[in-house]
Structure 1
């Protein structure tokens, strides 16, 4: 059966870090999608098919949580993450997300997964590097130029936001010792000897969450003209 979709998939990319959002948008730029809206964890304003919820640096209680997006949005919510811990994936799906995609996936794989979600499936694709979080993919994140891996960068983001090692471990579903290992290797790369230095470095190098939200007016107008939802 041929796909009924004649227009590009409309998505909103949500994350509190502008560089992460820009990286995801660029990564998907050549695919059959329209990135209608991007920005921080606030309500999605546009008529979109899927909210691609990037978990980088997300802290429960900041902005709008995943459950709020699921409850308040007409769009389907799909989580996009380096963190592939099974317990986290279970929680996300239980909260109402329609998919959980690894960042090791290629652009075409991500879009194919989103199309499956639109067709009614719940799609979980951990990718080839299950639970490692060290594959770099084609996206971007704060600290990449300093040599930080995605997981190291996320740990520094949480440190910059004031979380303790215990809180980071709970948030990332990691052991305390694993968190300490990531912190130690990250500190070596950024030249920090103590937490206060790491926080200062983070604040100076793009690890403070952003609040900017951008909507592409041309795509919004096109959406209004082509949306099948107006048909009742």
Structure 2
């Protein structure tokens, strides 16, 4: 019997460094997963078995973003790869028609196994993450010492979101968002929001559309 062909997986995110980090996770599993490399901010343009949607730094509701992937006729199944495991969010994703909801704490071997289960038609929801940072992959600001949450906060600030909008997007309390922003500011050496936006623009945090926030106050 000939070996099964690898699952064709598209990695979907607006940040090239995130896509590259995910590709690196699959390096040792090329016989099981064939990664279709995407350029940031592009739609999937060739037929794939699974689109793995990474939610890092998205400045719209997850439903809106995922619906675009679900409507793509070239994508057979869609999986959300995320840090946010609010029950309402998981239920909404299942209602929207996703085939998996996977944690960023999964090591590469378990992530590949989960994608194989999705490929066979299973709905796979991994356990909620217990740690404080993803197991693998990459994100903007990591090389500057920013944690995943700090990097995501700076990404959304760079795109012009307010603290309240960031809290809503990330399902965090306003106080938690302020804490992440303050610690990020200390690490990157800024004290004001406009300085953080400028830093983000220079360090790969700019997405396709940037809306500058006129409120130039500290976190």
Same fold flag (TM > 0.5): yes
**Which residue in 1 is equivalent to 2:106?**
105
Give the unaligned 5+ runs of structure 2: 210-219
Give the whole-Å Cα distance in 2 for the aligned partners of 1:42 and 1:90: 27
**Which residue in 1 is equivalent to 2:25?**
27
Give the whole-Å Cα distance in 2 for the aligned partners of 1:5 and 1:38: 26
State the 1:6 CA deviation: 0.5
Aligned length: 205
Q: Secondary structure at the match of 2:165?
A: helix
**Change over 3 Å in CA distance of 1:42–1:93 after alignment to 2:** farther
**Change over 3 Å in CA distance of 1:157–1:5 after alignment to 2:** farther
Asked whether 1:54 is paired with 2:51, we answer: no
**Change over 3 Å in CA distance of 1:17–1:83 after alignment to 2:** same
Alignment of 1:155-174 (within 5 A): 155-174=153-172
**Which residue in 1 is equivalent to 2:202?**
204
Once the two structures are superposed, what CA deviation does each residue of 1:27-86 show, in whole Å capped at 9, x if it has no partner? 111112111232334321111100000111111179x72112112234200011122333
When normalised by structure 1's length, the TM-score is 0.82
Give the whole-Å Cα distance in 2 for the aligned partners of 1:55 and 1:185: 22
When normalised by structure 2's length, the TM-score is 0.86
Give the whole-Å Cα distance in 1 for the aligned partners of 2:39 and 2:91: 26
Give the whole-Å Cα distance in 2 for the aligned partners of 1:98 and 1:106: 19
Alignment of 1:188-227 (within 5 A): 188-209=186-207
Asked whether 1:10 is paired with 2:11, we answer: no
Give the whole-Å Cα distance in 1 for the aligned partners of 2:71 and 2:3: 25
Indicate the RMSD between aligned Cα atoms, in angstroms: 2.2
Once the two structures are superposed, what CA deviation does each residue of 1:112-143 show, in whole Å capped at 9, x if it has no partner? 1011111111111135x33x5x2242211110
Alignment of 1:119-198 (within 5 A): 119-126=120-127, 129-130=129-130, 134-198=132-196
Once the two structures are superposed, what CA deviation does each residue of 1:90-133 show, in whole Å capped at 9, x if it has no partner? 22222211111111111111111011111111111135x33x5x
Give the whole-Å Cα distance in 1 for the aligned partners of 2:89 and 2:200: 26
Give the whole-Å Cα distance in 2 for the aligned partners of 1:179 and 1:202: 17
State the 1:176 CA deviation: 0.8
Q: Secondary structure at the match of 1:77?
A: strand
Give the whole-Å Cα distance in 1 for the aligned partners of 2:196 and 2:139: 17
**Change over 3 Å in CA distance of 1:5–1:123 after alignment to 2:** farther
Give the whole-Å Cα distance in 2 for the aligned partners of 1:10 and 1:67: 20
**Which residue in 1 is equivalent to 2:213?**
none
